[in-house]
Amino acid sequence: NAGVTQTPKFRILKIGQSMTLQCTQDMNHNYMYWYRQDPGMGLKLIYYSVGAGITDKGEVPNGYNVSRSTTEDFPLRLELAAPSQTSVYFCAGGQGDTIYFGEGSWLTVV
Amino acid sequence: GENVEQHPSTLSVQEGDSAVIKCTYSDSASNYFPWYKQELGKRPQLIIDIRSNVGEKKDQRIAVTLNKTAKHFSLHITETQPEDSAVYFCGASGGSYIPTFGRGTSLIVHP
């Protein structure tokens, strides 16, 4: 099993552009999450999903959208990118308490 | 919601010394406390966890202790090695399976 896979790994985006970070998992996790990580700020929850068709906001959802049409996929959409969205994004999946992270996506907005 | 505080933000030790990282949480309903290690440029990886019905758990050189009354838990690393250098995150979650993480501790082990 590959676990949780994210693409792209690196991306430079211009202010106002939109993009989608892809996340897929092959562990049959019901729960999936998107976190962002900024230096010294830890991992902040953006959105999460408890199953296909169900999504909910986390701590820092503004400027992002998600969908969960299948158990495997949980894409994160950035609309009208802003410099404040420069960060490292981690998708994660879990079936209970323990969650497993993807390798991360480094996004720079210029 | 849950709030997790983690200290210190940076910890520098000599190889062979012990390292202790402390976390406090606010929600008494939290019952699961994971610790993740993140090497530079890598993903966070689970190294040890503890549930609220256990006071201490060990795995070779690492151990975690939990004080439910005081709402704090700690990670202990003995006989530190340079490869222990990384950022460590503590987390807390309850029945919702939505963990909240501390801000992280950068551990530097000097050879």
Q: What single-letter DSSP state applies at residue A63? A: T
- Residues of chain B with Cβ-Cβ distance to A104 below 8 Å are 42-43
Amino acid B75: pLDDT: 98
Return the beta strands (E) in A26-98 as ranges. Answer: 31-38, 42-51, 54-57, 64-66, 76-78, 87-94
Asked if the model's pLDDT at residue A102 lies above 70, the reply is: yes
Asked if the model's pLDDT at residue A108 lies above 90, the reply is: yes
- Residues of chain A with Cβ-Cβ distance to B34 below 8 Å are 97-99
Q: How confident is the model at residue A1 (pLDDT cuts 50, 70, 90)?
A: low
Burial of B2 (0-12, 13-18, 19+ CB in 10 A): middle
The arithmetic mean of pLDDT across residues B40-58, rounded, is: 94
Q: How confident is the model at residue B106 (pLDDT cuts 50, 70, 90)?
A: very high
Amino acid B53: pLDDT: 87
pLDDT digits (tens, 9 = 90+) for A48-68: 999 999 999 999 999 999 999
Contact B102, B91 (CB under 8 A): yes
Burial of A93 (0-12, 13-18, 19+ CB in 10 A): buried
Tell me if chain A has a CB within 8 Å of the CB of B32.
Answer: yes
Strand partners, B10: B106
Asked if the model's pLDDT at residue B43 lies above 70, the reply is: yes
The arithmetic mean of pLDDT across residues A75-102, rounded, is: 94
Tell me if chain A has a CB within 8 Å of the CB of B102.
Answer: yes
Asked if the model's pLDDT at residue B24 lies above 70, the reply is: yes
Q: What single-letter DSSP state applies at residue A95? A: S
Using the beta-carbon criterion (under 8 Å), do A90 and B98 form an inter-chain contact?
no
Q: Residue type for A95, please?
A: Q
Tell me if chain A has a CB within 8 Å of the CB of B93.
Answer: yes
The arithmetic mean of pLDDT across residues B21-27, rounded, is: 97
Residue A20 to residue A22: CA distance in whole angstroms: 6
Residues 6+ apart with CB under 8 A from A35: A43, A44, A45, A46, A89, A90, A91, A92, A101, B101
Amino acid A97: pLDDT: 83
